Amino acid sequence: MTDLRAAVRPELGRRPGTGWAWSGELAALVGSVGTVTTVALSAAQITRLRAAVARVAGLERAAGHDRPVRATLADYCPDPLVFALESGLPRPQILDRVIDGGSAWEQRLDPGIGTLTAVPRITEIVERVTSAGRRLIRTCYETELRTSRGALVGWARGFSLDLEDGDA
C-alpha cells in the first residue's frame, strides 16, 4: 500500500462538508475490482456458522429446531470486508487506525446451497469529519454474487473505517 499520508493536505481545513482535498489516488481506487472467485457453500459450513452464534443467541437446543436449513447470502459471505480484502483490494490507511465499520447484505434470489461467483469492488470512498471533529475515511467494498448461470443473487458489502484518534 503506497503511503498516501503525504498526499493528504490537512491545511485545507476541518470544516464538515468541505473535507480536505482528496488525494487523486484515493479517488482512483473507486471502481477497483478484486480477484473474481467462486464461493462454495456446504451444509457443514452452514452448521459451523450457526454453531458459532448458537450459544449467545440462546438457540442451542436441538429439540423443535429441526427446520430445514435455508442458506442466505450471508452464509456465502459472512464477513464481506475480509472477503473483499482477501481478493486483493487495497485498504486506505491514512489516518490513525482502521476498523470494520459495518456489514450489509442485499438478496434478490434464493441462493440455495451450492456455488456462487463473487466479484468484489470498491464502490465508494467517502471522507467525513465526525461531530467530534475527527476525520474519517469510509470505504465501501461491494461484492456482487451470481449463480453459475449468471443470475444475480445479490450483494454483500463491507465498510472499512480509517479513523483519526481524538485530540490530534
Partner 1 sequence: MNGVRTQTLEAGTEFEARGPVVIGLEDTVRWAAASGDYTPFHFDPAAAADRGFRGPVAHGPWKSAVLRSLLDEWLGQSSTLVEFDARYLSADCVGDELTFGGVVSSVEAADDGSRRVRCDLWARRADGGQSVAATAVVVVDAQPGGGLPVDRLKAAVKLGEDAGSFVYRVDRNDILSFVDAIGGWSRADDDDTIAPTTFFAALDPVERRDLDLDAFLQRLPFPMRGGGNAFNEVDYVRPIREGDVITVTTRYTDVYEKKGSRGTLLFRVRTNELRDADGQLVATTRCGHVLTYDVPDPAATGEASA
Interface pick for partner 1 out of 78, 117, 124, 147 (rule CB under 8 A): 78
Which residues are CB-contacts of 12 (< 8 A; sequence separation ≥ 6)? 18, 20, 21
Interface pick for partner 1 out of 5, 9, 15, 70 (rule CB under 8 A): 70
Of 122, 115, 130, 97, residue with least CA distance to 45? 115
Site string for partner 1, 122-151 (x = CB under 8 A): ------------------------------
Shortest Å, Cβ 162 to partner 1: 14
Query: Which residue, 27 or 106, is less far from partner 1 as judged by CB?
Result: 106
Site string for partner 1, 26-65 (x = CB under 8 A): -------------------x--xxxxxxxxxxxx------
The residue to which cell 427446520 is assigned: 67
Which residues are CB-contacts of 119 (< 8 A; sequence separation ≥ 6)? 33, 34, 36, 143, 144, 145, 146
Query: Which residue, 80 or 92, is less far from partner 1 as judged by CB?
Result: 80
Q: Strand 152-163 vs strand 97-107: parallel, antiparallel, or unpaired?
A: antiparallel
Cα 77 vs. chain centroid, distance in angstroms? 10
Q: Can you give the binding site for partner 1, defined by CB under 8 A? A: 45, 48-59, 67, 70, 72, 74, 78-83, 86, 99-108, 110, 159
